[in-house]
Structure formats: structure tokens, C-alpha cells
């Protein structure tokens, strides 16, 4: 595989992971996987959360792709794009960890952005946490954040239809 094709594969996989993360967050974590994700939405003691088990799932996907692409493990049956896709999943995991766990939840460092896209990411995720329980909610992505004003409007609409129970007023 050419270096350009490998680079494209890494970047395309990392970009595609935002859709994978969005859909798994909305339909798995806020669905049948709520038992692992619940403590992320509730006050808890300690550094680790059950929700952190999802990082192990992501790591297993990345490692599996690396293995599929490894001639050492797979011999002639190795599929080279697997290596580069595994690297893309890993890259997304690093970005996710820095943005979601680091910037938004401040597990690794303390910095509150005052403007720009970083502020938008933090606001969007705080609006995601504005609901009580797994029902309703907005902003299930981790790197792509929609306009907080639109998200507030969606939350108000969900509340008026009885879909979402909000923790507190979301402001106007």
C-alpha cells in the first residue's frame, strides 16, 4: 500500500469513527449498554467508571484490526489495510480521550475554553448531560458538536413531549 493510501486510510478511519462513536453512544450506551454507561451520567466516587470499559472495547477493535493486517500473525492471509484502519481507530481513541475525558470532563487537565470550537464541544457535551436517565438527550458525538443553541431547543422540545427529563433549566 502506498504511503498516500495508508495515510488516507488512517484519516478516513479516524473520521468514520465519529459516526461509529455517535451511533454506539446513542443506541448502545443509552440503550442496552446503559449498565456500563450510567455511572458516567451520575455522581460517583473514584477515578474510574464502569463506562471506561467502553475504551477496552475500542482498544479490542483496534488491536483486532492490527492483527488482521499483521503478516506475522496472519501470514499470507494478512490484509494490509487492517493495520492502517487499526491505527485510525487508535488515533480516534487518543483524540476522544483528550477531548472527552481531558477537555470536557477534565479528568487529566484543567482548562475551560472561553471561545471557539473547544468551548462549543464542552457546551454540547454539558447539554448531553442535561438529561436524567438514558431517555432523550442530544449531542451523542464526541468530536463533532452542533450549535448549542440548537441543542437547547431540541432539549426543550423533548421535555415538552415528555421524552427527556432535564436536570436543571437549560437557559434560553
Q: How many residues does the chain have?
A: 172
Q: Is the dihedral of CA 56, 40, 47, 146 positive or negative?
A: positive
Domain residue ranges in the chain: 1-111, 112-172
Is 44 a residue whose pLDDT tops 60? yes
**Cα 76 from chain centroid?**
35
Answer whether residue 171 shows pLDDT above 70: no
Q: Is the dihedral of CA 125, 116, 13, 106 positive or negative?
A: negative
N-term to C-term CA, the chain: 52
Task: Supply the pLDDT for residue 172.
Answer: 45
Q: How many other CB atoms are found less than 10 A from the CB of residue 24? A: 18
Q: For 143, what's the count of Cα atoms within 13 Å in the CB-facing half-sphere?
A: 16
**pLDDT average, residue stretch 1-13:** 97
Render pLDDT for 106-152 as a digit per residue (tens, 0 to 9). Answer: 998 899 999 999 999 999 999 999 998 899 999 999 899 999 999 99
Residue 30 clears pLDDT 90, i.e. is over it: yes
Q: What average pLDDT does this structure show over 157-172?
A: 78
Instruction: Point out the least confidently predicted range of 19-33, 59-73, 149-163.
Output: 149-163
Q: Which helix (H) or strand (E) holds 66?
A: helix 53-68
Contact of 54 with 29, CB cutoff 8 Å: yes
Mean pLDDT score of the chain:
93
Query: Is residue 131 helix, strand or coil?
Result: strand
Please tell me the predicted confidence (pLDDT) of residue 169. Answer: 54
**In angstroms, how far is CA 161 from the centroid of its own chain?**
27
Q: Assign 46 a pLDDT band (cuts: 50, 70, 90).
A: confident
pLDDT band at 18 (very low <50, low <70, confident <90, very high): very high
- pLDDT value of residue 43: 86
What separation in angstroms does the CA of 24 have from each of 32, 69, 104? 10, 25, 19
- Please give the share of the chain, as a percent, with pLDDT higher than 90: 83
pLDDT for position 164: 84
* Residue 129 in grid coordinates: 448531560
Amino acid at each position: 500500500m502506498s504511503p498516500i493510501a495508508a495515510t488516507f486510510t488512517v484519516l478516513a478511519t479516524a473520521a468514520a469513527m465519529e459516526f461509529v462513536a455517535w451511533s454506539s453512544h446513542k443506541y448502545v450506551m443509552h440503550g442496552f449498554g446503559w449498565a456500563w454507561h450510567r455511572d458516567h451520567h451520575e455522581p460517583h466516587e473514584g477515578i474510574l467508571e464502569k463506562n471506561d470499559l467502553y475504551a477496552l472495547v475500542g482498544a479490542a477493535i483496534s488491536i483486532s484490526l492490527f492483527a488482521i493486517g499483521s503478516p506475522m500473525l496472519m501470514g499470507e492471509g494478512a490484509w494490509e489495510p487492517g493495520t492502517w484502519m487499526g491505527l485510525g481507530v487508535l488515533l480516534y481513541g487518543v483524540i476522544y480521550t483528550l477531548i472527552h475525558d481531558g477537555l470536557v470532563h477534565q479528568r487529566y487537565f484543567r482548562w475551560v475554553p472561553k471561545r471557539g470550537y473547544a468551548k462549543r464541544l464542552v457546551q454540547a457535551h454539558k447539554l448531553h448531560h442535561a438529561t436524567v436517565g438514558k431517555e432523550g438527550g442530544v449531542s451523542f458525538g464526541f468530536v463533532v458538536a452542533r450549535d448549542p443553541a440548537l441543542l437547547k431547543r431540541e432539549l426543550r422540545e423533548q421535555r415538552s413531549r415528555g421524552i427527556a427529563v432535564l436536570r436543571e433549566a437549560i437557559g434560553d
